[in-house]
A and B are shown apart, each in its own frame.
Chain A
């Protein structure tokens, strides 16, 4: 019997070595996610005893102010992703094709912010955007403005700082795909009479679409739930999805509402991501024709 057990244990060692990762992931990732869905449907009375199931937590969020919050977050996330894509693509293109022997150094400069706490980047922007900060001083020195402007606590500040913080997340996937890109394809396209712009839109972009896709989502998804940057440099004036989630989840009796709002956020994100994916795929198909 003992011998049999030992043999069985020996045979099953790989299973016991391999399974913890799955268990960990299910227990601490998939179960909590299901949990939040369950929590959003539970009805508690004032003594926080379970009363039954309800959809009242959802109904309060389908009103005008909350729809507006969703739209605002979507708009910000989309704008930030597009700005990051434009800046990041040219930067990655430069790094992959034009940087020459300084490539490692320039790449190093892009990766450093990626490896530093993003709170410090937000903090650094205070020195640029403050009333006596760099930007106001520069503009006054150039004679463009006479009086210092208010940059902090505006939507513009939120946008700029978000682009700044998320830019490395866009550059790195684009760079890694552009680096593997076969340059002979560009040369042959130019040789066969295509203009530089045609080559770029019909060869380079379709062949790097997977990098664009992963970069876009790496920026879009966290930007949609962002609550730190609007809270610190946006002045808490306008609410974002992330702000609502964090305040209601950390509040005393609003956890179920927060759960409902989180579920709505997740559903919305899935829908938007699917739509964006369709758009990107259609670009890919256009390139293949």
Chain B
């Protein structure tokens, strides 16, 4: 190997990856820095302050939309998780659903905006008022598209001998389901729940069409704030959300190590 090729193989990859990480993190670092700046953005760095964080806590509209987002994300996650576990129960007790699994991949293939628009015209045709419940309905569909494939494929990977042993030793199928299958699926269910919660919480496109004008989620609130222009309060909010989501990532990664979802 000549020296140029060796140099390339030694430094080319780390250099490119380093640049990629700089590309990924420069905007975030600047965003966080400016949340501590005492002057609003176009002016350069002035002095350290926590003023914007204080202002953030007094913005009641923001906390209201935050609460809305939490309610929607929680309901949608619980519903789609329950229904996916129900499917596993059905598969165990009655009939294999493997051949119907493709049915659930439709959500991943259709662009979110097409789905959102379809649901909007569906709701407006039946004159169902758009509000938080309609948003829960929409997010549950989205959640099913992720939860069913994740949990069901995990169930398929399960060692059949465990189930057979449980049945041979005299447990009913229901007992087998609750004492063998559920404990086995628990880590993947928890990881899936985290993922669904985050997807619903961060969703903007569906909320934009299906939430109506009264119900405001955090994403919609952030969108309207960004539309209005740069404000250090959004920076403070972003910093807090970044910290929260890093905790979520740590939890997700440790669950994922056990359940191997991704």
The reply on B90 being an interface residue by CB < 8 A is yes
- By the criterion of a CB under 8 Å from any partner CB, how many residues of chain A are at the interface? 80
Smallest beta-carbon distance B87→chain A, Å? 5
Contact of B148 with A21 in the complex, beta carbons under 8 Å? yes
Minimum CB–CB distance from A122 to chain B (whole Å) comes to: 7
Within the assembled complex, what's the spacing in Å between the Cα atoms of A108 and B34? 24
Asked whether B167 is an interface residue with its Cβ less than 8 Å from the other chain, the reply is no
B170 close to chain A: CB less than 8 A? no
Q: What are the residues of chain B within 8 A of A224 when measuring CB–CB?
A: 111
What count of chain B residues pass the 8 Å CB interface test?
82
In angstroms, Cα B40 to Cα A130, docked, is 14
**Contacting residues, chain A, for B144 (C-beta < 8 A):** 21, 24-25
What 1/0 mask marks residues of chain A from 147 to 190 whose CB sits below 8 Å from any chain B CB?
Answer: 00000000000000000100100001001100000000000000
Known: A108-B253, A262-B114. A20 touches B27 (CB 8 A): no
Stretch at the interface among A51-59, A64-72, A200-208, A242-250: A242-250
CB-based contact B115/A221 at 8 Å: no
Contacts A33-B114, A134-B30 given; indicate if A25 touches B103 (C-beta within 8 A): yes
Chain B stretch 90-116: residues in CB contact (< 8 A) with chain A: 90-94, 97, 100, 103-104, 106-107, 109-115
The residues of A that contact B16 with a CB separation of less than 8 Å are: 90
Point out the residues of chain A lying under 8 angstroms from B226, CB to CB: 119, 122-123, 232
Is B230 a contact of A126 with CB atoms below 8 Å? yes
A87 touches B141 (CB 8 A): no
Query: What secondary structure prevails in chain A residues at the interface with B?
Result: helix
> Which residues of chain B from 213 to 240 have any CB-CB distance to chain A below 8 Å in the complex?
218-219, 222-223, 226-227, 230, 234, 238
Write the residues of chain B forming the contact surface with A, with a CB cutoff of 8 angstroms: 9, 13-14, 16-17, 20-21, 23-28, 30-31, 34, 41-42, 44, 83-84, 86-87, 89-94, 97, 100, 103-104, 106-107, 109-115, 117-122, 124-125, 137-138, 140-141, 144, 148, 198, 201-202, 204-205, 208-209, 218-219, 222-223, 226-227, 230, 234, 238, 241-242, 245-246, 248-250, 252-253, 262
